Amino acid sequence: MPRMMVAAAALAAACAMSSGAWAQVAVTDIRAQLFLERSGKLSDNLVGANKALHNTVIGEGDAGEPADAVLVTLVFSGARNSKSSDKIARDLASITVKQQAKTGEKILLRRVYGGFLFGESGRIHKAFLLDNATCAPLEIEVKVGKSARTAKLDFSCGE
């Protein structure tokens, strides 16, 4: 009988940990870097950096060299050594990237990530590249469960 009680307690603890891990998935950071075309390097993080992003496509502003692609890296956190669900809505990260063009707002990307496999650090990174994205303002919005983050990049082109 004590073995059954120990086994039941262990099963209850495992269920509580797994459901708790799902509830703890959160977006913790958004980073954006220019792909610098001449050197083939990535710029420093642009989010919150207060950089001049005018005519970046031809290398003006703080870019230093031509860049029309942006690498976006998202950082998610969860319970260490756990896996989140890829079927339950609260565990799915929804990503939307909007650009404010002269003709109005357009959606550059909609994506959903799920099934995060968290290691010892309790963090995981997802990334995507936006091509031809440096001539109009960008807004990157990420939501997972009750967690949400937004990053804005004030790109512009013209005289």
Q: Give tens-digit pLDDT for 87-144.
A: 888 889 999 999 998 888 999 999 999 999 999 999 999 999 999 999 999 999 999 9
Q: Are 47 and 155 in contact (CB under 8 A)?
A: no
Does residue 158 lie in a domain region? Answer: no
CATH code where residue 47 lies:
2.60.40
Domain that holds residue 95: 2-153
Residue among 112, 116, 31 nearest 78 (CA): 116
Cα–Cα dist 153/82, whole Å: 33
Backbone dihedral region for residue 14 (phi beyond 0: left; psi -120 to 50: alpha; all else: beta) = alpha
pLDDT tens readout for residues 10-60: 444 444 444 443 447 999 999 999 999 999 999 999 999 999 999 999 999
Tokens 């956190």 correspond to: 77
> What would the DSSP string read from start to end of 68-128?
-EEEEEEEEE-STTEE--SSSGGG-EEEEEEEEETTEEEEEEEEEE---EE-TTSEEEEEE
Does residue 159 lie in a domain region? Answer: no
pTM above 0.85, yes or no: no
Say how many domains are in the chain.
1
Cα–Cα dist 102/118, whole Å: 41
Token duo for residue 74: 């998202």
